[in-house]
A = this chain, B = another copy of it.
Amino acid sequence: MPPFRRHVFVCTNVRAPGHPKGCCAEKGAEALRDTIKAAIKARVLEGEVRANAAGCLDACEHGPTVVVYPEAVWYGGVKPEDVPEIVEEHLVRGRRVSRLQIKF
């Protein structure tokens, strides 16, 4: 099946409660990953676009963190309600959602 036209990775890293860096898991990353996967399926993009959980993407302070390849576009603070826009604008049309992009 691979390679995919776009490949989305959602950080679902878990740290112990109270860790100074925090973690994407405690900010709802698992639900976010599920929402993105479901939206890709609903939009019949399977095979073209894939979403996967990933280990720590080293952008903990911006979490939940999502990176889309091959463009290497990084999104931060992503909520389930942002997913339709990411799917329609970026994954379907190839237009970055600038309001969600992380400023490194």
Contacts and interface: CB of A to CB of B under 8 A. Distances in A.
Given A7-B67, A72-B7, A53 B50 contact: no
Interface in A1-47: 1-4, 7, 9
A60 to B, nearest CB: 10
A94 interface: no
Q: How many copies of this chain are found per oligomer? A: 2
A1 B62 CA distance: 11
A9 B52 contact: yes
A59 B2 contact: yes
B69 A2 contact: no
Interface of A: 1-4, 7, 9, 50, 52-59, 67, 69-72, 74, 102, 104
